[in-house]
Amino acid sequence: MIYEKIVRRRTIRKFVKDSIPKNVLVQCVDAARLSPSGMNRQPLKFVLVDDGELVTDVFATTRWAGYLPDYEPNLEEMPRAYVLILLDTQIRQNPGHDAGIAAMSISMVAHDHGVGSCILGAIDRAELRRIFKIPLHLEIIVAVALGYPAEHPIAETVKNGDVKYWLDRNGVLHVPKRALSDVMKWNSGLFKATEALS
């Protein structure tokens, strides 16, 4: 079931060296292409990167795990492919929700094939534009990193409002998720005030 796959899927930041079959990568992008799009404008374009040298170049433009600065993957643990999601501003000036929907579609198809993913907004867009000679009318929205997982993060319930992910003494990543009762109300929009994390 799709629900069970979403429950099991976690963001992956460390990967093994195995390459991803090209047909799996194409299927990920095809799923993104077929995903919902506001007004059916379909303004997204995709750059699929699996060439080893280019993957290393893209890796150098990325930043990982904001809550754990020392938890970045090294060159041995880096992704084996990326999908860059671009907005064609000649079709639409604003990506709306399209890029997020497409990124999740890529992640879920990857997950179905045992491939881990990380949706990255912390990327050096100017350098990516230079590397791939991306024309100015194409805006780089996000990159989706892909690879077979070298880690197995655990989801758990948020405690004391703290959403920061953390490593236990065995190096296992724990990812707090807000309880369903905290984020959903039946037939009402009334929620208690939430204190911002400092």
Query: pLDDT by residue (tens digit) across 84-139?
Result: 999 999 999 988 999 999 999 999 999 999 999 999 999 999 999 999 999 999 99
CATH number at residue 96: 3.40.109.10
29 and 98 assigned to the same domain:
yes
103 and 184 assigned to the same domain:
no
Query: Which pLDDT does position 198 carry in this prediction?
Result: 42
182 and 112 assigned to the same domain:
no
Q: In angstroms, how far is CA 55 from the centroid of its own chain? A: 16
Residues ≥6 apart with Cβ < 8 Å to 94: 87
- Is residue 20 within 8 Å of residue 29, measured between CB atoms? no
49 and 111 assigned to the same domain:
yes
Sign of the four-CA dihedral 100, 89, 120, 47: positive
Cα–Cα distance between 197 and 158 in angstroms, integer?
12
118 and 104 assigned to the same domain:
yes
Identify the helix (H) or strand (E) that includes residue 48: strand 44-49
Query: Which pLDDT does position 192 carry in this prediction?
Result: 77
38 and 110 assigned to the same domain:
yes
75 and 15 assigned to the same domain:
yes
128 and 164 assigned to the same domain:
no
Give residue 40's domain range. 2-147
134 and 83 assigned to the same domain:
yes
Residue 73 has pLDDT above 90, yes or no: yes
Residue 14 has pLDDT above 50, yes or no: yes
Tally the domains of the chain. 2
Residue 196 has pLDDT above 70, yes or no: no
- Is residue 115 within 8 Å of residue 147, measured between CB atoms? yes
Query: pLDDT by residue (tens digit) across 39-59?
Result: 999 999 999 999 999 999 999
3-state secondary structure of 116: strand
Query: Which pLDDT does position 109 carry in this prediction?
Result: 98
DSSP 64-111: --TT-GGG---TTTS-SEEEEEEEETTT-S--TTHHHHHHHHHHHHHH
- Is residue 52 within 8 Å of residue 13, measured between CB atoms? no
Where are any strands of DSSP class E within 94-164?
116-120, 138-147, 154-157
26 and 120 assigned to the same domain:
yes
